[in-house]
Amino acid sequence: MTTILFNKPFNVLSQFTDKGTQGSPRQTLSDYIDLPDVYPAGRLDRDSEGLLVLTDDGKLQGQIANPRHKLPKTYWVQVEGIPDEAALQALRDGVTLKDGLTRPAKARRIDTPPGLWLRDPPVRFRKSVPDCWIELTIREGRNRQVRRMTAAVGHPTLRLIRCAVGAWTLDGLASGKWRRA
């Protein structure tokens, strides 16, 4: 069994081929990983960064990707504004989105994550609007869920980095690099 951890950069698709437009310049996993028969266990949006687990074990892939297993996924989220305790508590209690109430999450404000790499292109900066980082752990995986949750509590996401999937973490893994788990 092969399992690898990949720190997916911003603007990279979570797939090995781009089935979008012929001759598209979009980057895919094949631009970074030259290892046969491993596939992503779950997805990470093109505009999100961070930990992507890939494996050749279908059972493990299902355990990671299927929401019924409730595997925790932790994110560092740079948000617009400074969430107060009420906003953080709303995330903890579950947020009502168009597709229903989210499961309760763990949410806390954090300092800028240590060792954070620069993003290309950088996140927009506005002198008049502060931003901060929160750490958010969810146990489901709806489409663009973290972004929708932070927007629902009044703090749109500026940058989203998945830092952990279950016990696997990004620790020591530079953007665009991978290692065996």
Catalytic residues: 45
Let me know: does 70 contact 58? Beta carbons within 8 Å: no
Residue 27 bridge partners (DSSP): 12
| Residue type at position 172 | G
Furthest-apart CA atoms within the chain: distance in Å: 51
Closest CA to 52 of 37, 40, 66: 40
Beta strand residue intervals within the chain, DSSP E: 3-8, 39-40, 49-55, 73-80, 96-97, 100-101, 106-110, 131-138, 157-165, 168-169, 178-180
C-alpha neighbours within 13 Å on the C-beta side of residue 17 = 2
List the structure tokens of 96.
């009502």
